[in-house]
């Protein structure tokens, strides 16, 4: 399955969840919010949300600074 993650085209196995994607990319502890096709997916749904082929996923982190 082809997805666009933070602007980059990536391939994943079929039936993958958002949580699986985070684990595969080794960023599970860094991401605070995820939007799929510009719609926020609540963190409690990451374990059972299955993106569709061609979806655009934005994974957001919060950075402190000044």
pTM value is: 0.89
Spatial distance between the Cα atoms of 31 and 62, rounded to a whole number of angstroms: 8
Q: CATH fold of 2-60, please?
A: Ubiquitin-like (UB roll) (3.10.20)
pLDDT > 70? residue 64? no
Question: Which pLDDT value is given to residue 61?
Answer: 84
Note the pLDDT tens digit of each residue in 17-29. 999 999 999 998 8
Domain locations in the chain?
A: 2-60
CA distance 46 to 18: 5
Contact by Cβ (8 Å): 24, 57: no
What is the CA angle 6-11-16, rounded to 5?
90
Q: 47 in helix, strand or coil?
A: coil
33-49 average pLDDT score: 97
């Amino acid at each position: 399955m082809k997805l666009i993650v933070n602007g980059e085209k990536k391939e994943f196995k079929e039936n993958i969840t958002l949580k699986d994607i985070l684990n595969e990319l080794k960023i599970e502890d860094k991401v605070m919010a995820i939007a799929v096709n510009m719609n926020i997916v609540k963190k409690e749904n990451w374990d059972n949300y299955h993106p569709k082929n061609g979806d655009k996923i934005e994974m957001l982190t919060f950075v402190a600074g000044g």
